[in-house]
Structure 1
Amino acid sequence: MGLRGKRQSDDRAGTGAGAPAAGNVTANTGDWAVELRGVARRYGRGTSVVHALRSLDLALPRGSFTAVMGPSGSGKSTFLQCAAGLDRPSEGSVRLGGTEITGMNENKLTELRRSRLGFVFQSFNLLPSLTVEQNVVLPMRLAGERADRRRAAEVLSQVGLGDKGARRPGELSGGQQQRVAIARALITRPDVVFADEPTGALDTGTAAEVLGLLRHAVDGLGATVVMVTHDPVAAAWSDRVLFLADGAIADSFHRATAEQIAARMVSLTARRPSHEGAAA
């Protein structure tokens, strides 16, 4: 955990709600891993309409680790679904790795997700009948590629499971299963890894190990990670924390401590209006 100790010694500064959420990168489309421009998502009609996202403008640089937080109903899940091409915005555009995905047909979107995106979920989502190695190479098979066993061995070694390729998920601990999920997410060298509450089912010590792996994927492997979480301790591993409230970006912190993040969450929860609907 030497890397974590170094990060905690860095200067940390919160930025106001009007600060750019992109980091210090030149404004070139090629520099961004994720771009949302004027993205809104509404559900329902008329008086029953729910504004899950409200005209989000956001650009996240390649090789960065971004945590997304907010009170229940703030739009976190909708943000992740729209950013990853799992849901279509009502307005605006989404780019992943410089590719406009908003108007893509479902077949092309599926192909893009399989080849250029990685996903890590709270529930691991491993197939129990497959071996660890088979689970890891599954994105390659689904994309119609030949399973690269050498690449699988490489990523399993990177997550500390180089000797577990022949095991089945049921033979592993929860933390080990999440390591398999991270290896699976990295197998295709994706433009972006989307992580949805990746430590929600883990104890504190195991969660720190998994977050260290995601941190290493960014710092050591050049990956881009976007993580939705409710946990300030998990969010503190990121480069930047984005706070959503009622479907809009309410604030952005750069290299914040868990205490700073928790305090901001308390203030957002206390200020949240009750008269407008939003989605989780």
Structure 2
Amino acid sequence: MAPRHERPSTPAPYTPHPAVELRSVRRSYGRGDRAVHALRGIDLALARGSFTAVMGPSGSGKSTFLQCAAGLDRPTSGEVLLGGEEITRLSENRLTQLRRSRIGFVFQSFNLLPSLTVQQNVLLPQRLAGERQDRGRARQLLAQVGLAEQAGRRPGQLSGGQQQRVAIARALITGPEVLFADEPTGALDTRTAAEVLTLLRQAVDTMGATVVMVTHDPLAASHADRVLFLADGALADEIVRPDPQRVAERMITLTARSAGRRAEAAA
């Protein structure tokens, strides 16, 4: 599997704001001595049309990072901006509208509705957002993910890899500013995972999408432009133009350091 792909020769149009920006973001659970500090002051800007992988040892804050960045959880303090718009103080109704229209999600468990056809699943975000269901766009996306002939089938009739491709088409149907992927290859075999990662890479390179992917797999991370490493709720390192070996070595180092700090804290 070739981890790197050439970027398109035509640059994305200039925009003044990053796709996603976190400013001094902290997230704590509980109070006092029992408080868990999942994020400890994250400052980060992710450019439009970029592919970023987020990695870290268990308990490093990866899931909390994704949830706060995507507007699924509110930081304890700090700001999250989507395309320059501060979203942390929006009402729940406005946040829901924003997630449906400007953000796409791909999860490890696919989250397709078994009672709907493949095409109906792809169109679901438009339906939930109260938009016109663009069946032509759905057919186009299904063709791009290699499932044009499966539009009338139910998810249960598809393989795991095919279901994840449906989930990617569904995530792209509204033309989101950012696509967040949480362990999108975690339930797939190596070959199928490579196909899904290639689709995410193509969404960036040919459609101008911005992808933020949480993963534990160095091979998956090597498809990204940049890998960010979290440790104990803070940004610990990054690699630009990653390759699997460098990512794996960095993860081994961070995991050992994190384990050492926790052992000292428990002593």
Scaled to the shorter chain, the TM-score interval is over 0.9
SS at match of 2:237: strand
Deviations 1:169-192 (A, max 9, x none): 011110000000000000000000
Question: Is 1:207 the equivalent of 2:193?
Answer: yes
SS at match of 1:134: helix
- Give matches, 1:50-69, under 5 Å: 50-69=36-55
Counterpart of 1:243 in structure 2 is: 229
Identity score, percent: 70
Aligned residue pairs total 257
Question: Is 1:268 the equivalent of 2:258?
Answer: no
SS at match of 1:202: coil
Change (3 A) 1:157 1:34: same
Counterpart of 1:73 in structure 2 is: 59
Distance 2:85 2:15 in 1: 9
TM-score, structure 1 normalization: 0.89
Q: How far off is 1:163 after superposition?
A: 1.4
Question: Is 1:174 the equivalent of 2:174?
Answer: no
Q: How far off is 1:260 after superposition?
A: 0.4
Moved over 6 A (4+): none
Counterpart of 1:143 in structure 2 is: 129
Counterpart of 1:159 in structure 2 is: 145
Change (3 A) 1:5 1:114: closer
State the AA in 1 paired with 2:227.
V
- Give matches, 1:120-139, under 5 Å: 120-139=106-125
Distance 1:64 1:106 in 2: 28
Question: Is 1:258 the equivalent of 2:249?
Answer: no
SS at match of 1:252: strand
Q: How far off is 1:30 after superposition?
A: 2.9
Distance 2:36 2:89 in 1: 23
Q: How far off is 1:37 after superposition?
A: 0.3
Residues 40 and 90 of structure 1 are in contact (CA less than 8 Å); yes or no, is this contact kept in structure 2?
Answer: yes
Distance 2:3 2:182 in 1: 25
1 or 2 for the larger relative contact order (CA 8 Å, sep ≥6)? 1
Q: How far off is 1:5 after superposition?
A: 6.4
SS at match of 1:125: coil
Deviations 1:31-77 (A, max 9, x none): 31000000000111110011100110000000000000000000000
Change (3 A) 1:29 1:48: farther
SS at match of 1:234: helix
Residues 29 and 98 of structure 1 are in contact (CA less than 8 Å); yes or no, is this contact kept in structure 2?
Answer: no
Change (3 A) 1:183 1:267: same
Q: How far off is 1:6 after superposition?
A: 5.4
Counterpart of 2:9 in structure 1 is: none
Distance 1:125 1:98 in 2: 29
SS at match of 1:156: helix
Deviations 1:98-148 (A, max 9, x none): 211010000000000000000000000000000000000000000011211
Counterpart of 1:189 in structure 2 is: 175
Residues 49 and 208 of structure 2 are in contact (CA less than 8 Å); yes or no, is this contact kept in structure 1?
Answer: yes
Aligned equivalent of 1:46, options 32, 45, 49: 32
Counterpart of 1:95 in structure 2 is: 81
SS at match of 2:150: coil
Deviations 1:67-99 (A, max 9, x none): 000000000000000000000001100011221
State the AA in 1 paired with 2:157.
E
CA RMSD of aligned residues (A): 1.7
TM-score, structure 2 normalization: 0.93
SS at match of 1:181: helix
Distance 1:116 1:48 in 2: 36
Uncovered stretches (5+) of structure 2, i.e. residues with no partner = 7-11
